[in-house]
């Protein structure tokens, strides 16, 4: 596992492999997680839906916001198509995995310039969108992260979770 906090914001070392290595899914959720990732890849790279995915990537606004919102939409669509049988606990890890796949695609096709900072923004937008879609309060979420970080610091832990960035453009 790589320490993501040591990556340079303007670097481009966040890859699908690094993301996958850093996602920890409980054993009882590994199979549903893998099914969701496979279904998401199928939609993202299928000839029938591929053009729509490209249009989302090439839309308006910052790339990180477009990616985050696009993956959130994909995950909500997958959840709805599963008729609520998808375990909610796999939505965020599978979405982050699929976001990594989208980043890899953008890099390989040279559609746009993308770096670790854009990936971080996309992950933040994605997580916030999912939390809000299920009626969660992102302010409470960040408050909890702050409490955990302070507790870890007091206990001599490995550091604190990343601080919340400014609200994302577009209402996120």
Q: What is the pLDDT of residues 88-122, one digit of tens each?
A: 999 999 999 999 999 999 999 888 999 989 998 99
Total count of residues recorded for the chain: 172
Percentage helix, strand, coil, to 5, in the chain?
65, 0, 35
Name the one residue in this structure whose structure tokens are 């916030």: 128
> How much is the pLDDT for 20?
82
**pLDDT of 48-78, one tens digit each?**
877 777 787 788 899 999 999 999 999 999 9
| Secondary structure class of 48 (helix, strand, coil) | coil
The mean pLDDT value for 137-146 works out to: 76
The yes-or-no verdict on residue 160 having pLDDT over 50 is no
Q: In the numeric block, which tokens belong to residue 110?
A: 């040279």
pTM for the model stands at: 0.79
Structure tokens at 82: 């599963």
Tokens of 148: 């955990």
Q: Is the pLDDT of residue 47 over 90?
A: no
Q: Are 140 and 148 in contact (CB under 8 A)?
A: no
Q: In the structure encoding, which two tokens stand for residue 164, read together?
A: 């919340």
Reduce the DSSP state of residue 168 to 3 states and report it: coil
Average pLDDT taken over every residue of the chain: 83
């Amino acid at each position: 596992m790589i320490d993501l906090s040591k990556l340079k914001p303007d670097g481009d070392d966040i890859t699908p492999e690094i993301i996958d290595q850093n996602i920890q899914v409980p054993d009882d959720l590994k199979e549903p997680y893998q099914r969701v990732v496979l279904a998401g890849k199928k939609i993202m790279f299928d000839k029938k839906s591929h053009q729509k995915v490209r249009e989302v990537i090439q839309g308006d606004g910052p790339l990180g916001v477009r990616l985050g919102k696009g993956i959130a939409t994909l995950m909500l669509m997958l959840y709805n198509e599963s008729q609520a049988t998808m375990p909610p606990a796999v939505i965020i890890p599978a979405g982050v995995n699929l976001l990594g796949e989208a980043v890899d695609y953008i890099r390989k096709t040279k559609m746009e310039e993308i770096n670790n900072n854009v990936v971080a923004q996309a992950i933040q937008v994605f997580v916030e969108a999912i939390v809000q879609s299920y009626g969660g309060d992102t302010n409470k979420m960040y408050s909890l992260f702050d409490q955990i970080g302070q507790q870890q610091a007091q206990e001599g832990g490995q550091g604190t979770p990343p601080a919340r960035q400014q609200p994302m453009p577009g209402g996120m």
